[in-house]
Amino acid sequence: MTNSILIAGTHSGVGKTTVSMGIMAALSKRNLKVQPYKVGPDYIDPTHHTAICKKSSRNLDTYMMDEEYIRKSIEYSSNDADISVIEGVMGLYDGVDSTEISSSAHVAKTIGAPVILVVNVHGMSRSVGAILKGYSEYDKDVNVAGVVLNKVGSQRHAQMIKDALPSDIPVVGALPKNQNVSVPSRHLGLHMASEEDHNLDELAEFIEENIDLDSVMSLAREPAKPVTSVGTIENKEPDVTIGVGMDGAFCFYYQDMLDSFRQCGAEIKFFSPVKGELPDVDGIYLGGGYPELYIEDLEKSKTTSGLKNLAADGMPIYGECGGMQYLCSSYEIDDVEYKMADLFPAKTRMTNKLKALGHTKAEADGEFINGTLLGHEFHYSITECSRDAKLEYEMIRGKGIEDGKDGLSEHNSIASYMHAHPATFPVNKFVDMCRKYSRR
Order the strands of the 344-350 sheet from edge to edge. 336-339, 328-333, 344-350, 381-385
Q: How far apart are CA 431 and CA 429, in angstroms?
A: 5
Annotation says 321 is catalytic: yes
Amino acid at 336: V
Q: Where are the alpha helices (DSSP H) in 153-291?
A: 155-164, 200-210, 213-219, 255-263
Report H helices in 176-286.
200-210, 213-219, 255-263
Which residue, among 424, 408, 253, 428, has the nearest Cα to 341 in the 3D structure? 408
The distance of Cα 229 from the centroid of its chain, to the nearest Å, equals: 25
Are 275 and 300 in contact by the 8 Å Cβ rule? The answer is: no
> CB 335: neighbour CB atoms within 10 A?
6
Q: Spell out where 246-327 has E strands.
A: 250-252, 266-271, 283-286, 288-289, 317-320
Beta-carbon contacts of residue 365 (< 8 Å; ≥ 6 apart): none
Catalytic residue among 53, 264, 321, 328: 321
Burial of 309 (0-12, 13-18, 19+ CB in 10 A): exposed
**211, HSE (Cβ side, Cα atoms, 13 Å):** 31
Q: In angstroms, rounded to a whole number, what is the distance separating the alpha carbons of residues 62 and 78?
A: 18
Catalytic residues: 321
